[in-house]
């Protein structure tokens, strides 16, 4: 076990409790669809490049009737960042020591009318301390009311803390979740924030509200769409869109790079990849 201070422990406890609530809600949706699918949990340990124990996490994966593949992972890792990579991490150029705790979720849905989704929140400590994360909706077949309701719920969470949060973090998501070589956005956006530092209590409260907002709105959208009929053409559109999703995560996603560079669990890092995809 790596040693955590009170702030790191509080963040870790929250991320793990959010994982438990999300997984329970997703399993409830499967029951409503007549499925007995449930999450399989696999614990993993990390060894720091120094040879010391560097924390670990739990990978949770469910494959069901509604959720074709959903991963909800929690991890708490620490140690030293290596070489030039340390210079790319906020506050690590001066000292490569770090601790990172967080939750990461990606859901790929069986029905093409149900949007895929990504959510993660995290607390990182180097010589700086900050929260980051967000959530974004990724529908193969977009619906205006789904997009509107998803953004409205995230906006409400942001507005409760700072009226500047939503426009800033929405634009950050639009800029970040973009595939330059395709010249398209990955989905219909959401919010993305990073390096939120200074007042731990305020930033932690905001991060908790982002997690609660996600848990409030995404299951509602799933239930809205999961019973819709779909065609072969709809499925083909979904599989092509998933190819775009995979391209972004493998080429541009900073979280994927961070996991690989810090010796994280490969299966947990790549759980974001869809179970099936096509390229034209």
Q: Which of 8, 119, 10 is nearest to 72 (CA)?
A: 119
Report the C-alpha dihedral over residues 225, 253, 203, 161, rounded to 10 degrees: -50
Catalytic site residue from 108, 113, 118, 165: 118
What is the 8-class DSSP label of residue 45? E
Alpha-helix residue ranges (DSSP H) falling in the chain: 6-32, 83-87, 144-159, 165-176, 200-225, 232-251, 254-261, 266-269
What the block records as the tokens of 113 is: 């009318």
Residues paired with residue 137 on neighbouring β-strands, in sequence order: 117, 189
CA distance 105 to 135: 9
Cα dihedral across residues 85, 135, 110, 24: positive or negative: positive
What is the number of H-type helices and E-type strands within the chain? Answer: 8, 9
Give the number of other Cβ atoms within 10 Å of residue 87's Cβ.
Answer: 11
CA distance 38 to 49: 35
What is the 8-class DSSP label of residue 142? -
Terminal Cα-to-Cα distance of the chain (whole angstroms): 46
Name residues whose C-beta falls within 8 Å of residue 83's C-beta, 6 or more positions apart in sequence. Answer: none
Contact between 110 and 242 under an 8 Å Cβ cutoff? The reply is: no
Whether 165 is catalytic is no
Residues designated catalytic? 118
């Amino acid at each position: 076990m790596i040693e955590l201070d009170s702030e790191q422990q509080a963040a870790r406890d929250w991320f793990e409790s959010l994982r438990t609530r999300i997984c329970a809600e997703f399993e409830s949706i499967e029951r409503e669809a007549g499925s007995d699918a449930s999450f399989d949990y696999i614990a993993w340990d990390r060894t720091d490049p120094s040879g010391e124990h560097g924390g670990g996490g739990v990978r949770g994966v469910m494959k069901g009737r509604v959720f074709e593949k959903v991963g909800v992972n929690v991890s708490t890792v620490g140690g030293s960042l290596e070489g030039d990579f340390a210079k790319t991490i906020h506050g690590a150029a001066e000292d490569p020591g770090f601790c990172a705790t967080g939750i990461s979720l990606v859901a790929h849905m069986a029905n093409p009318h149900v949007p895929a989704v990504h959510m993660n929140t995290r607390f990182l400590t180097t010589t700086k301390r900050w929260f980051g994360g967000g959530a974004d909706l990724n529908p193969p077949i977009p619906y205006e009311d789904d997009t509107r309701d998803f953004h409205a719920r995230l906006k409400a969470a942001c507005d409760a803390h700072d009226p500047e949060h939503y426009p800033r973090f929405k634009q950050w998501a639009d800029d970040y979740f973009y595939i330059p070589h395709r010249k398209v956005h990955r989905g219909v956006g959401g919010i993305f924030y990073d390096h939120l530092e200074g007042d731990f209590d305020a930033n932690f409260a905001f991060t908790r509200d982002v997690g609660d907002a996600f848990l409030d709105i995404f299951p509602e959208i799933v239930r809205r769409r999961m019973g819709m009929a779909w065609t072969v053409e709809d499925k083909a559109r979904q599989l092509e869109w998933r190819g775009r999703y995979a391209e972004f995560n493998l080429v541009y996603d900073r979280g994927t790079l961070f996991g690989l560079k810090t010796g994280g669990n490969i299966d947990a890092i790549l759980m974001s990849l869809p179970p099936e995809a096509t390229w034209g």
